[in-house]
Structure 1
Amino acid sequence: MLNADENDLLCRVEGNAAMGQLMRQHWLPACLSEEVAEPDGTPVRVRLLGEDLVAFRDSDGRLGVVDEHCPHRRASLALGRNEEAGLRCLYHGWKIDVDGNVLDMPSEPRESCLAQKVRHKAFPSRESGGFVWIWMGPPETVRAFEPPAWAPSPDIRTSVVKMHVGCNWAQVLEGAIDSAHSSSLHSTDMPPARVDGAKATATAWPRPSTDKAPRLQVQPTDFGFRYVAIRRPIKDASTHDYLRITLFVAPFTVLIPPNNMYKLSILNIPMDDVNTMFYFIAWSDQEGIDQEAWRKFCGAQVGVDLDRDFRRIRVRSNNYLQDRSAMKLGDHTGIKGIPNQDIAMWETMGPIADRSRERLGASDVAIVEFRRIMLEAAQDHQLDNAGRCTGT
């Protein structure tokens, strides 16, 4: 359980919130590279930590992520013309380049020097692992960019699901590190492997256990923590255990147990206090799984399950298109796709769950450790900032 102040400290990321300021000390994924693949293509709206941004690739292929609102009268640059090495606002024609320079002000007198005096907010950006990453912290604190685990070489095959979730980032991340729920919530998609040598496929993740009450052991690390969920296996239970190891890499990355086809990473990125962008990444240096098969398995195909802004057709107002007939025939949830099953649980807790009303048990050890680590980090960040402000 957390009290109201602790819950706010953990969850809120907008403005000067300590957790949001902490997040700004890390490279953040803004969007997928595929969304801005085309020079002079359609600009992409991005919302991160309560700020509205726009990502685009200019005529020369350079990537830019800037404040969405034109510095002139604050109209949206996401509606602008991406042409001739910049984004041109539709309203009065001001044009902004990837570095935030104002290249043109056609509504100003020819002799005006205003363009040289205006600097639009632009963010350092990098591309790696199929993502566009940006630095939102102070420029003087920018860290060297380190490629993600799934992008050490071009030989890695990466498939990514992207989904907009209508609740706070901590709810999403707590679901990602919760190993116990998979035995129940995902039991249809992760059935017990009752045959020796059963392997994952493009439609199922069998596993060798029916145990729904794992024993958890957590080990703190310098990057966050790792923990193991220990279950009784179907075979040789008297001499063997079935182990699932999960890693939390602070502040927003989770690596969940792989299968025989690919490894799995999850990014839980706060858009604002009550919205999260969820990325589910399957990666392998072998055959792996192709992008469309991965998105189909997850119930996250753009144009089928999601709109072009990665918003889901399965939402609370339509009960996530739950199929009660399928449930009568044995489907556990009646909801298509592992992420959709998770999202139904996260969103129905409310935009920011009231953690003072929880009753945690033995299966929640990793949740407690996550909260401890992140609350301590946010509190330390507050103290550091207070020290700088007072000159200590």
Structure 2
Amino acid sequence: MRPADNDLLCRVEGEAPMGQIMRQHWLPACMSEEVEADGAPLKSRLLGVDLVVFRDTEGRVGVLDERCPHRGASLVYGRNEECGLRCLYHGWKFAVDGEIVEMASEPADSRMRNLRARAYPAHEAGGFIWCWMGDPEAVRPFETPAWVPTPETKISIVKIHAACNWAQVLEGAIDSAHSSSLHSTNMPTAEVTGCTATETAWLRPSNDKAPRLEAELTDYGFHYAAIRRPIVNPETHVYIRTTIFIAPFTVLIPPNDRYNLAQMLVPVDDVNCMFYWIAWHPTGGIDQDAWRRFCAATPGVDLNPDWTKRRHAGNAYGQDRAAMKAGDFTGIEGIPFQDMAMWESMGPIADRSADHLGASDVAIIQFRRQMVAAARAVQKGEPAIGTTSRTRQVDVASFEGVVPKSADWRTFATRNARQAEPAE
């Protein structure tokens, strides 16, 4: 991959084409749980832009530029009270739409009262506060995310800051081949007919570490299948795991028997991103605290208040070499932390020109080609990838299971697809 193409893929700040793609989609600024009525304002950062998120007295959510338009002081330190966010410096108070409702330091007839804080359209859904950072005159209707097929769907979210570019994190999310090695301690093999979730591990029905990959372009991105030999009935059946890429930053990864899984890899700036891992189920699922414990990503235990990691490159992610000798493959606790060690070790922006891609990298190749082409298209004034899709996100679904060799993996790509036939 040429350096110029790598920049097209990775950089999102300012007028970067990939950033322009992102600005034509709703972006998650934070989780809903992070802002409460009249609670502390929250600092957020997207595409290199510093923001403040707050929920007013009546429960309405506002997303504003962090800097007060008066003298540039941070609104993160402001008072959230009586349906507005008040800057501490001179007492200017802003509504969720950016209107200045009080201006204590100016006379009643001041022309300054026509000012507004820069506000971004906000929407709350699926456990997140979303904002629109694109053209305010061309706001796209909000689309319900894939993990909210019904209003009653149970959703649990892991959030972790990644000290590297968004694209190398997303490439990890769509890379089905790595899980058989990197996560082998957490995903051991067993004679089961599908991925079975326990309290401490996911049992998988295949010990095949070299899957055959097949990909197909879609109007929302692409999907692909990793096809492996199962432990049970390998002569007549195959083990299939399908992964879905919904451009520009959402991945539906193969589920287990207890919950479905989605990830969002959201650009903070050129060299940082926010990793969200969502476990969801229309009727069952996993409790929020239990999900975070399983991922070793509990706030206050594994994570700092700003979602940075307490186990990081500076302390080798807490890697335990004695545990490795005793059988733990990585010596690193928690699936996301195992991933973080790999992603961040590539550097802030990976040098893809040095890669040697093989048969297991079909999805990586597809992602790079598709998104570089999408960046070039936006440079030419064409619509951003994913904005003209006719497929609803809630209608697509990832899949895993042991099925007859005659089965076509593409038939399992929708939420209403038939169930996989179990191995006999």
Pairwise TM-score range, normalised by the shorter structure: over 0.9
**156, 160, 167: which is aligned to 1:159?**
156
Provide the rounded CA distance (Å) in 1 between the counterparts of 2:148 and 2:192.
34
Mapping for residues 238-277 of structure 1, pairs under 5 Å: 238-277=235-274
**87, 90, 93: which is aligned to 2:88?**
90
- Which residue matches 2:367? 370
- Which residue matches 1:228? 225
For each residue in 1:61-89, what CA deviation from the matched residue of structure 2 results, as whole angstroms up to 9, or x when unmatched? 11100000000111100010001211111
User: Post-superposition shift, 1:385?
Assistant: 7.1
Provide the rounded CA distance (Å) in 2 between the counterparts of 1:282 and 1:88.
36
**Is the contact between residue 29 and residue 46 of structure 2 (CA under 8 Å) also seen in structure 1?**
yes
User: Post-superposition shift, 1:109?
Assistant: 2.5
**Is the contact between residue 168 and residue 275 of structure 1 (CA under 8 Å) also seen in structure 2?**
yes
User: Post-superposition shift, 1:154?
Assistant: 2.4
- Which residue matches 1:298? 295
Mapping for residues 52-201 of structure 1, pairs under 5 Å: 52-115=50-113, 117-194=114-191, 199-201=196-198
1:208 to 2:217 alignment:
no
Percent identity between matched residues is 64
State the one-letter code of the partner of 2:172: G
User: Post-superposition shift, 1:347?
Assistant: 0.2
User: Post-superposition shift, 1:198?
Assistant: 7.3
Provide the rounded CA distance (Å) in 2 between the counterparts of 1:198 and 1:61.
40
Runs of 4 or more, structure 1, over 2 Å off, are 194-199
**Is the contact between residue 44 and residue 54 of structure 1 (CA under 8 Å) also seen in structure 2?**
yes
Distance of aligned partners of 1:151 and 1:211 in 2 relative to their CA distance in 1, 3 Å threshold: same
Provide the rounded CA distance (Å) in 2 between the counterparts of 1:113 and 1:262.
56
**42, 45, 59: which is aligned to 2:43?**
45
State the one-letter code of the partner of 1:348: S
For each residue in 1:165-186, what CA deviation from the matched residue of structure 2 results, as whole angstroms up to 9, or x when unmatched? 0000000000000000000000
- Which residue matches 2:34? 35
Provide the rounded CA distance (Å) in 1 between the counterparts of 2:105 and 2:260.
53
**Is the contact between residue 202 and residue 289 of structure 1 (CA under 8 Å) also seen in structure 2?**
no
User: Post-superposition shift, 1:312?
Assistant: 0.8
Distance of aligned partners of 1:287 and 1:385 in 2 relative to their CA distance in 1, 3 Å threshold: closer
**Is the contact between residue 322 and residue 334 of structure 1 (CA under 8 Å) also seen in structure 2?**
yes
3-state SS in 2 of match to 1:325: helix
Provide the rounded CA distance (Å) in 2 between the counterparts of 1:308 and 1:159.
18
State the one-letter code of the partner of 1:10: L
3-state SS in 2 of match to 1:8: helix
**Is the contact between residue 161 and residue 294 of structure 1 (CA under 8 Å) also seen in structure 2?**
yes
**Is the contact between residue 12 and residue 270 of structure 2 (CA under 8 Å) also seen in structure 1?**
yes
1:330 to 2:330 alignment:
no
**Is the contact between residue 194 and residue 204 of structure 2 (CA under 8 Å) also seen in structure 1?**
no
TM-score (norm 2): 0.89
Provide the rounded CA distance (Å) in 1 between the counterparts of 2:243 and 2:3.
28
User: Post-superposition shift, 1:96?
Assistant: 1.1
User: Post-superposition shift, 1:113?
Assistant: 2.9
Provide the rounded CA distance (Å) in 2 between the counterparts of 1:111 and 1:30.
36
For each residue in 1:101-138, what CA deviation from the matched residue of structure 2 results, as whole angstroms up to 9, or x when unmatched? 111221123432311x2121101111111111111100
1:18 to 2:51 alignment:
no
Provide the rounded CA distance (Å) in 1 between the counterparts of 2:101 and 2:301.
40
User: Post-superposition shift, 1:155?
Assistant: 1.8
User: Post-superposition shift, 1:300?
Assistant: 0.6
TM-score (norm 1): 0.96
**326, 330, 352: which is aligned to 1:355?**
352
Aligned CA-pair RMSD: 1.3
- Which residue matches 2:312? 315
1:3 to 2:2 alignment:
yes
- Which residue matches 1:278? 275
For each residue in 1:250-304, what CA deviation from the matched residue of structure 2 results, as whole angstroms up to 9, or x when unmatched? 1000001111000000000000000000000000023211000000000110010
User: Post-superposition shift, 1:52?
Assistant: 0.2
User: Post-superposition shift, 1:199?
Assistant: 2.4
Provide the rounded CA distance (Å) in 1 between the counterparts of 2:96 and 2:349.
35
- Which residue matches 1:390? none
- Which residue matches 1:382? 379
State the one-letter code of the partner of 2:27: L
**Is the contact between residue 216 and residue 229 of structure 1 (CA under 8 Å) also seen in structure 2?**
yes
Provide the rounded CA distance (Å) in 2 between the counterparts of 1:342 and 1:122.
35
**Is the contact between residue 202 and residue 294 of structure 1 (CA under 8 Å) also seen in structure 2?**
no
For each residue in 1:305-347, what CA deviation from the matched residue of structure 2 results, as whole angstroms up to 9, or x when unmatched? 0111111101101000101111111000011111110011000
User: Post-superposition shift, 1:197?
Assistant: 7.3
Distance of aligned partners of 1:197 and 1:185 in 2 relative to their CA distance in 1, 3 Å threshold: closer
3-state SS in 2 of match to 1:45: strand
